[in-house]
Structures are given as structure tokens and as C-alpha cells.
């Protein structure tokens, strides 16, 4: 099946070819839902992708959907819900009307990544326009596809620095029959141990969060399986409406924790890693793999400990919406690798220069 939209690929290709000839920088823009994170380089012209939208193909029985980059996530989620399916990576909406292209270019995943993986795990193939104005296709629309698979995944998290996305093919998943959320009051270390034990016992956890001394566990599955899991956990579930609102607010960073007027950092750690000084002050999700922390005087002392544990940290939101936070430069090795890939896709450097990649 396909959903009516508008194919602007020819016009977009002409704009990019003209920009390449004139060496005119372009800022590939969508709805602006992630403008807090990345900004356009000076002198860059905005190339709006929101008109290039619509579902190109969707085969519910094959669990594959292909859509144009400007297609709103809300439209995709509605169509999928009508067929009892969902986007596995539960992409954040934040405060805007995000698009599929923006979700892939940003690479942000929501709470369900704990069970079903990240954006990168869901991308099967892409069609894009390079900085030379060439129209290329990588990957495919089948989960067994191998050729070009890794190239399409390079676009995830690239923030439009490599190419202009036209179409994205993603795998989708059946929606669970039922979801329940349990809340337990316990110490952080005990919470991690419980998550580890439940995971080992094949309890169907689809999301976890720890905030203010409370562990939130979302379980997804059949009614029978969730009833057995509830006996294992030993608590009563939250009301369904309240639980759905909590996970949406966590996904979109609308919980009170995220409303403080100070810079927000995202800490990534190996699974089930406990760092008491960090966990006591932040919001943890995904089995401890992600910790959100507000910048304060103690942050600088914590960062070396994060690195020693095999993790890394990056600023996510500035204290004000005036601009994106300045991120740390890439390591010399990663910077060289990125520049080699950038040279292949965008030799003239016309696509938006982003501070995410160590540029100015």
C-alpha cells in the first residue's frame, strides 16, 4: 500500500546541484523539532524537506515501510497503529511535528530501544542525494539484505552532514497485545540488579527508567505473560493512562526533571553500570545505559569516571533555546574517519556544518 504525498526529489536534486556548482552551503531542515540540538552554519541556505512526504510502500505482512523523508512521524504511527504495528525505536517527538528524515538523521531513540534496538537497527535502506548532486540508493527493503546495508546506516545520526535523505526503508514490528508499568521504590543498585534478573528470566521488559528513588518497568506482551511477570515482580501496575503519559513524557523530555533551566547532558554507559555519584542526581533509562544529568560544579569530576567505565558524555540541551550546545570535538581517529566519509559524499562541504562533528 502507499499513502498519497508529494515527490519533490527532482526539485531537491536541482537545488543541491546548483548549490554544489556555486559552493553554496545548505542547511537541510525539517520541522525544527530538534533545533535545540543542532544549528545551521553561517551563510547556509535552508533547504526545506517537509514538502517531500508520503508513504511510498508499506507491506504489513512483510513488516517493512518505505516513506519520504518529510513524512511526519505522527502520520506513520497512525497508519502503523491501524495495522497493529509500531516503530521499534519509539522516536522522540519533543515539542514539534518531527519527520522520518529528521528521526533518522538525528538517530535519537526512545524508551523501547531497551528491547527492540535503536534507529540504526531499524534502517534497511535509504535513497539520498550526495553533495555532488548524485542520486544514490543503498540497502533495500528486506531484512536479509546485505549489500550496502552499512552505508545506509551511516546516515543515522549524521544530521544531514553526508547527504540529503529522500526515502528511508525501515522495519516495523507488531504492537504488543498489552503493556503494563510497575513502579518500585528501591536503591539504584538494587534496581539494576532487578532489571538484570528479569532480563535473564526472559521477562518481557520493553523499557526501564529510574528517577527520584523509583524504578519504572514497562512490560509488553500477552495478558497471560504479563500476569506471570507481575507475580515475579510482586507489585501492582500503574493505571494504563498514567503509564502511557509517563513514557510519552520521558520520550519527549516533558517530565519535570527536564524543565530545569540549566544545561542537560546525556551520559552513555555499558549496560547495568552503577556510578553512585551519577545515578543519585540523574535520570537513568534503558537498563542504566543512558543517564540524563544537569550540568553543575561536580560534572567535570564525573566525566573521567564515565570514560574509565567505557562510557562517554555529550551536551544535549543548552540552558536556553537560543542555540545548540557546543559539543566536544571528535577524537583524532574518529575525526579522520568522518572526514574521509564526508569527502566521499560531500567533497565541497555544502551540507550543514554541525558542531556535533567537531566543526566550528
Same domain, 220 and 235: yes
Q: 118 and 146: one domain?
A: yes
In a domain, 330, yes or no: no
Q: In terms of domains, do 239 and 306 share one? A: yes
Which residues are paired to 294 by β-bridges? 264
Report yes or no: 353 and 174 within 8 Å, Cβ to Cβ: no
Q: What is the pLDDT of residues 311-333, one digit of tens each?
A: 988 889 876 554 555 555 566 78
Residue of 149, 148, 165, 169 lying closest to 157 (CA atoms): 165
Distances (CA, A) of 360 to 247, 340, 352, 354: 36, 18, 12, 8
**Measured distance CA(180)–CA(218) in Å, rounded:** 6
d(CA 83, CA 346): 39
Q: Is the pLDDT of residue 338 over 90?
A: no
Domain range for 41? 9-174+336-357
pLDDT in tens, 100-145: 999 999 999 999 999 999 999 999 999 999 999 999 999 876 555 4
- Considering the domain architecture, whether residues 15 and 141 belong to the same structural domain is answered as yes
Instruction: Say if residue 208 is in the same domain as residue 126.
Output: no
**Same domain flag for 159 and 291:** no
Q: Are residues 157 and 186 in the same domain?
A: no
> Does residue 359 surpass a pLDDT of 50?
no
Look at 307 and 325; give whichever has higher pLDDT: 307
201 and 288 fall within a common domain: yes
Do residues 309 and 353 share a domain? no
Predicted confidence at residue 168, as pLDDT, reads 97
Identify whether 16 is part of a domain. yes
Cell numbers given for 11: 526539485
Query: Is 153 within a domain?
Result: yes
CB atoms within 10 A of CB 299: 17
pTM over 0.85: yes
**283 in any annotated domain:** yes
Q: Is 327 exposed, middle or buried (0-12, 13-18, 19+ CB in 10 A)?
A: middle
Would you state the pLDDT for residue 326?
A: 52
Cross-strand pairs, 185:
214
Residue 61 domain-assigned? yes
Listed residue (185, 36, 154) closest to 98, CA to CA: 36
192 and 168 fall within a common domain: no
Q: Which of 72-76, 226-230, 294-298, 352-356 has the lowest mean pLDDT?
A: 352-356
- Would residue 329 count as lying in a domain? no
Q: Report the distance separating Cα 286 and Cα 271, nearest Å.
A: 8
Write out the H or E segment, with its range, that includes residue 104. helix 100-106
Q: Considering the domain boundaries, does residue 240 fall inside one?
A: yes
In-domain check, residue 288:
yes
How is residue 235 annotated by DSSP?
A: S
Angle at 142 between CA 138 and CA 145, to 5 degrees: 60
User: What's the number of domains the chain is made of?
Assistant: 2
Instruction: Based on the fold, state whether residues 90 and 185 are members of the same structural domain.
Output: no
**The pLDDT value given to residue 34:** 84
Asked if 353 and 291 sit in the same domain, the reply is no
Are residues 89 and 113 in contact, defined by beta-carbon separation less than 8 angstroms? yes
Sign of CA dihedral 281, 182, 93, 287: positive
Amino acid at each position: 500500500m502507499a499513502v498519497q504525498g508529494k515527490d519533490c526529489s527532482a526539485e531537491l536534486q536541482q537545488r543541491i546541484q546548483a548549490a554544489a556548482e556555486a559552493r553554496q552551503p545548505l542547511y537541510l531542515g525539517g520541522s525544527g523539532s530538534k533545533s535545540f540540538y543542532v544549528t545551521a552554519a553561517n551563510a547556509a541556505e535552508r533547504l526545506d524537506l517537509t514538502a517531500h512526504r508520503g508513504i511510498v510502500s508499506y507491506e504489513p505482512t512483510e513488516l517493512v515501510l518505505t516513506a519520504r523523508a518529510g513524512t511526519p512521524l505522527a502520520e506513520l504511527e497512525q497508519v502503523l497503529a491501524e495495522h497493529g504495528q509500531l516503530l521499534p525505536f519509539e522516536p522522540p517527538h519533543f515539542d514539534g511535528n518531527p519527520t522520518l528524515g529528521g528521526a533518522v538523521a538525528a538517530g535519537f531513540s526512545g524508551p523501547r530501544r531497551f528491547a527492540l534496538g535503536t534507529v540504526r537497527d531499524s534502517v534497511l535502506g535509504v535513497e539520498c542525494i550526495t553533495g555532488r548532486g548524485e542520486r544514490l540508493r543503498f540497502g533495500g527493503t528486506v531484512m536479509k539484505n546485505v549489500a550496502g546495508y552499512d552505508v545506509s546506516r551511516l546516515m543515522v545520526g549524521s544530521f544531514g552532514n553526508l547527504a540529503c535523505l529522500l526515502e528511508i526503508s525501515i522495519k516495523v514490528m507488531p504492537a504488543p497485545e498489552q503493556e503494563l508499568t510497575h513502579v518500585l521504590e528501591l536503591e539504584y543498585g538494587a534496581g539494576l540488579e532487578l532489571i538484570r534478573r528479569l532480563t535473564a528470566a526472559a521477562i518481557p521488559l520493553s523499557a526501564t527508567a529510574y528517577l527520584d528513588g523509583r524504578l519504572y518497568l514497562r512490560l509488553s506482551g500477552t495478558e497471560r505473560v504479563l500476569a506471570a511477570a507481575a507475580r515475579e515482580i510482586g507489585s501492582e501496575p500503574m493505571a494504563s493512562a498514567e503509564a502511557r503519559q509517563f513514557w510519552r513524557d520521558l520520550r519527549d523530555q516533558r517530565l519535570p526533571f527536564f524543565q530545569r533551566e540549566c544545561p542537560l547532558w546525556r551520559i552513555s554507559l555499558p549496560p547495568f553500570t552503577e556510578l553512585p555519584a551519577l545515578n543519585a542526581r540523574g535520570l537513568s533509562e534503558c537498563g542504566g545505559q543512558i543517564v540524563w544529568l544537569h550540568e553543575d560544579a561536580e560534572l567535570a569530576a564525573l566525566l573521567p569516571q564515565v570514560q574509565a567505565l567505557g562510557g562517554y558524555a555529550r551536551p544535549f540541551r543548552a540552558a536556553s533555546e537560543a542555540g545548540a550546545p557546543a559539543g566536544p570535538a571528535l577524537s583524532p581517529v574518529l575525526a579522520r574517519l568522518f572526514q574521509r566519509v564526508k569527502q566521499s559524499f560531500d567533497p565541497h562541504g555544502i551540507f550543514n556544518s554541525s558542531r556535533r562533528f567537531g566543526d566550528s
